[in-house]
Amino acid sequence: MPEIDAYLKKVRDAQGSDLHIASGIFPKIRIHGRLTPMSDKPMNAEHMAKLIDEILDDRRRKIYRERNDLDMAYELRGVARFRVACFKTRLGPSAVFRLIPEEILPLRAINVPEVILKYTELKNGLILMTGPTGSGKSTTLASLIDYINTNFERHIVTIEEPIEFVHRNKRSYITQREVGVDTESFAAALRAASREDPDVILVGELRDHETIGLAITAAEMGYLVFATLHTNSAAKTIDRIIDVFPEEEQNQIRIMLSETMKGVCAQLLLPRVEQGRIPVNEILFGSFSLSNIIREGSVAKIVSLIEAGRGEGMQLMDDALLQRYKDRLITAETAYLHATQKQRFEGLLKKGA
């Protein structure tokens, strides 16, 4: 049994989310967002190299040796599946293991508004799940895909690096492809997807303008495409997509996006007042008005569009933060720190002083 398995069991037992293990430092577990030492003995470089090598096959060992970086998944049966990042530092080999729950929970169980289930009822279009690294985007997307899998007869193709949540066929049929293992790249897999008769395509990450362009094209061809971006709001998401393209291509992309964009759900994962973390979401649904806003390049109007769409379940991030505070789930300081219009929350800080 690989030595790392004992550390990973401790992560699960401590209800942690990540294991940080590196040359020259004490192993640490991230529990409810905070790093906690799990040993008073730092790892030396030789020991770290052995820990990592034990879980690599020949192909991954070669990649790690050549690039000094490696992303992969590691499954410890009976415990959990982990997303692994192996890398080199000035002190030697290091790795971070992120726990991926074996059970895919429904939106209600992970405290994400169930109104975004509307996305799953669409036949085509582009849906973006956004937020910083570690904000729970993959968990929320897995819940949406599982809902489709449970309630509809569709062919779902996922393209991930690495595969995180493993989906088992229910009413739908799921094809999961791992970049670097089952396909050369996100772009290559997206090009091939149209020949695989999909209804739904999940792209783990939109990393470059080629992949973004192919995802928009797939949505334009009539597929329902889910993907992730590292942005914190709906407006910034639209801007990011357009700005990644050369200036001479931006008008065409704006037109294509205006016809295919069906929703953006931005997510933060914030510390709860008592224990653990809770998601906070900005929600945008597609509409004729959104199409016009994108086509005209008036992205600033998205804020007003979301405010006008509250009755349909849309919400701004600041409103979601305020509601989490009123529900006594997050502190005034947490709400203020992550707010866009901080003046709205200054009074809460004074009230708590």
One-letter-per-residue 3-state SS of 213-264:
HHHHHHHHCCCEEEEEECCCCHHHHHHHHHHCCCHHHHHHHHHHHHHHEEEE
Q: Mind listing the pLDDT tens digit of every residue in the chain (353 residues)?
A: 789 999 999 999 998 999 999 999 899 999 988 899 987 788 899 999 999 999 999 999 999 999 999 999 999 888 889 999 999 999 999 999 999 988 899 999 999 999 999 999 999 999 999 999 889 999 999 999 999 999 999 999 999 999 999 999 999 999 999 998 899 999 999 999 999 999 999 999 998 889 999 999 999 999 999 999 999 999 999 999 999 999 999 999 999 999 999 999 999 999 999 888 999 999 999 999 999 999 999 999 999 999 999 999 999 999 999 999 999 999 999 999 999 999 998 888 876 54
What pLDDT, on the 0 to 100 scale, is given for residue 353?
47
What pLDDT, on the 0 to 100 scale, is given for residue 79?
83
- Amino acid present at 16: G
Q: Tokens standing for 266? A: 């931005």
Q: Tokens standing for 149? A: 């899998």
Nearest of 121, 122, 123, 126 to residue 218 by alpha carbon? 126
Give the predicted TM-score (pTM) of the model. 0.90
Show Cβ contacts of residue 152 under 8 Å, excluding neighbours closer than 6 positions: 120, 171, 172
d(C-alpha 160, C-alpha 230), whole Å: 16
- List helix spans (H) across 14-134: 45-53, 58-67
What pLDDT, on the 0 to 100 scale, is given for residue 139?
95
Domains of the chain, earliest start first? 4-100 (3.30.450.90), 107-315 (3.40.50.300)
